[in-house]
A and B are shown apart, each in its own frame.
Chain A
C-alpha cells in the first residue's frame, strides 16, 4: 500500500502561471516532507522541505504547504518557467526512520 501518493501523473501549465503539485500521505508518523525534482538522465535533486511543526515554507519561487489534518502537502511554483519542466517527487520521513518514502512523481510541463 502506497504511503505517499501523487495522484496526478502529469500537469501542464502556461509559462508565467502558477504550478500546483499535490501529494497525500497516509502514515501519521511522517514528520518531515521533501520535494525532489528530476530531469531525464539525472538523479533527483532536492528542492525544498518542510517539518511537520510548520504549515508553510518558502524558497524563492517555490512554496510548500502542509495540511497535517488532511495529510496533504502541495508545492507551488510561481511564476512557472520552461526550465521547471521535470518530474517532481514528494517524499516523507518519519522520526527515527532511515527510510525516505517517495511518491510516484508528477511530470510538470511548462509551456512557453
Chain B
C-alpha cells in the first residue's frame, strides 16, 4: 500500500465512450502525475501537476484531458480514444517537483485500460 489509490483498476471502453480515471493520494504530497505504460515500452510521462496547477504536458493528444481539483485528487478524462491507447495508466505523487531525495514518486496500482 503506497498511499496512492486508483479507480477503476480495469476499464474496457468503446471508441465513442467517455470515461474518467480517478487517482487519490493520502500522503500530503503537492505534486501529482499521470504516466502511460504500453507493452514493452518505458513509462511515459503524460501530465504533471504541482499545487493543482499543470506544469507539464508532454504532447499528449487532446482526447486525454486531466483535471486536478485539489492536491489530493487527480482525474484523467477520456473521450474518443483509439485502440492504440490501450495501456496501463499510472498515477503518482511526490512531495515536491525537484529531483531531490525527498521527492521520490509514489505510484498507485494503475488502471488497465482496453479500448475496443
Judge whether A104 and B99 touch: CB under 8 Å.
no
Let me know if A51 is at the binding interface, CB within 8 A.
yes
Count of A-B residue pairs with CB < 8 Å: 61
Enumerate 6 A-B pairs (CB-CB under 8 Å) in ascending A order.
A36-B107, A44-B43, A46-B106, A98-B50, A99-B45, A101-B42
Q: Which of B's residues lie within 8 Å of A, judged by CB?
A: 2, 4, 6, 40-43, 45, 48, 50, 55-56, 58, 90, 92, 97-101, 104-110
Q: Which of A's residues lie within 8 Å of B, judged by CB?
A: 2, 4, 31-32, 34, 36, 41-46, 49, 51, 89, 93-105
* Chain B proximity of A104: nearest CB distance (Å): 5
* Chain A proximity of B30: nearest CB distance (Å): 12
Judge whether B42 and A4 touch: CB under 8 Å.
yes
